[in-house]
Amino acid sequence: MEAKDFKQEHSQNHNFENEGQFHRKMTSRHLFMLSLGGVIGTGLFLSSGYTIAQAGPLGAVLSYLVGAVVVYLVMLSLGELAVAMPVTGSFHTYATKFISPGTGFAVAWLYWICWTVALGTEFLGAGMLMQRWFPAVPPWIFATIFASVIFGINALSVRLFAEAEFYFSSIKVITIIVFIVLGTAAIFGLIPMQGDQSAPYFRNLTAHGAFPRDWTALLSIMLAVNYAFSGTELIGIAAGETDNPTEAVPQAIKTTIGRLVIFFVLTIIVLAALLPVKEAGVTQAPFVAVFDKIGLPFAADIMNFVILTAILSAGNSGLYASSRMLWSLANEGMISQKVVKINQHGVPMRALLLSMLGAVLALFSSFYAADTVFLALVSIAGFAVVVVWLSIPIAQIRFRREWLKEHKEEDLAFKTPFSPLLPYLTIFLLALSVIGIAWDPSQRAGLYFGVPFVILCYLYYYIRHRKF
């Protein structure tokens, strides 16, 4: 089989007749900003202070460097698969075809839960942020408004989703660039710090030792760092609705690592240099604290708006990703065939409605079952990111073996370099971050709930289909 024929056969993986067609309306511009903006979220804006406090300034920088390398390695494996098979199901389809149907089933549900839980909490978070400006309005009203807007954007067309995400992401990227520039100027005394007589330079990086706790702190925060980088894999899902995936996907992947290092690592360096470890640990919004120290007018209001944008961006991407994953499950015959229907706008409306319903149920569970159901869902969501990523290099290794039976390596439009050594290294690093969960009591629930959930997925699939 020719490489071109293989790609045509697998670019539209519709397994049922008259189900409708996705529209390839995303461009390389959309895909690039989706990959970048998907990563820059509340994890960076709100949780970076926690990372610094846990692992120390240099430990946090090192963790994010390793995290950037890991996500880039994952993307190299995903790139080979996505260019050869640009399907909407992405890593669920790859896991099903090249690992096992049971693994694909578990991966899809893990990823769906990951985004659905995030959706519920993000809508509530957006409503709570609005209380800064409208304290008399209950958060649920704004949460409902934002949920309706995000649903409308996703329901109308994939092009509208991509445009909205492009502008949401642009705001976040501009904010990060401004923060790095102003923060660097403040570090070297070009901008005076409020209450400080001299430039701080990099004294705070080693003021309490480079690594305040032992090496296990680095291991324990790797899951949190990986979670902060989650969203990059949206490139794979969006490949099925991109106008020219052969060019757009590799371009988005190649530019991802440089931007990740620049935005994440430089941001952490600036935060660690300007915020003492104790302040980094207690502040809820480290960006606001730094902007306040610099004396930027309306710092808290500006960051409130940016974090609101980040939340809406995550909600927009999350609803898109979860609906496509649910559609992929239906397309593979793993859930009801009714969910597979795509309307004339190229939107899987039933999958979209079910994903929104899942987000609402997750939101209700955060109120009425916070210590049971919601705790389990959040734990599974954190665990899910690494497990889903783990399936990608495994699928790539097996895909390459199958490919070489009928094709040459040179026929691949995008190749994972040094395969299979790099994919095996990726598997090792991801497995290490899963083991690291056991060292952090606050994240240990991810193992307690995540592992049994994966086992249940396999058992359910076996009982229903009599195969793994």
Interatomic CA distance for residues 400 and 419, integer angstroms: 9
> Domains in the chain, ordered, with CATH?
24-465 (1.20.1740.10)
- The residue whose two tokens read 């090496």 is 215
Digits of tens for pLDDT over the chain (468 positions)? 555 555 555 555 666 666 778 878 888 788 877 777 767 776 677 667 777 777 777 778 888 888 888 888 999 999 999 999 988 888 899 999 999 999 999 999 999 998 898 888 888 888 888 988 999 999 889 989 999 999 999 999 888 998 998 998 888 888 888 888 988 998 888 888 776 556 777 777 766 665 656 666 666 677 677 777 778 888 888 888 888 888 888 888 877 767 777 788 888 888 888 877 666 655 556 777 788 778 888 887 888 898 889 888 888 888 999 999 999 999 888 998 889 899 988 899 999 999 999 999 988 888 888 778 887 887 788 788 889 999 999 999 999 999 999 889 999 999 999 999 999 999 999 998 888 777 777 778 888 889 999 999 999 999 988 777
Q: How far is CA 117 from CA 121, 322, 373, 462, in A?
A: 7, 10, 11, 26
| CB contact burial 205-232 (16+ within 10 A = b; e otherwise) | beeeeebbeeeebbbbbbbbbbbbbbbb
Interatomic CA distance for residues 172 and 174, integer angstroms: 6
Are the CB atoms for 206 and 58 separated by under 8 Å? Answer: yes
- Strand, coil or helix: 460: helix
> To 10 degrees, what angle do helices 445-465 and 373-406 make?
60
Please calculate the CA angle 94-340-390 and round it to the nearest 5 degrees: 25
Examine residue 420 and say whether the peptide bond preceding it is cis (omega within 30 degrees of 0): yes
DSSP 214: -
Interatomic CA distance for residues 190 and 402, integer angstroms: 58
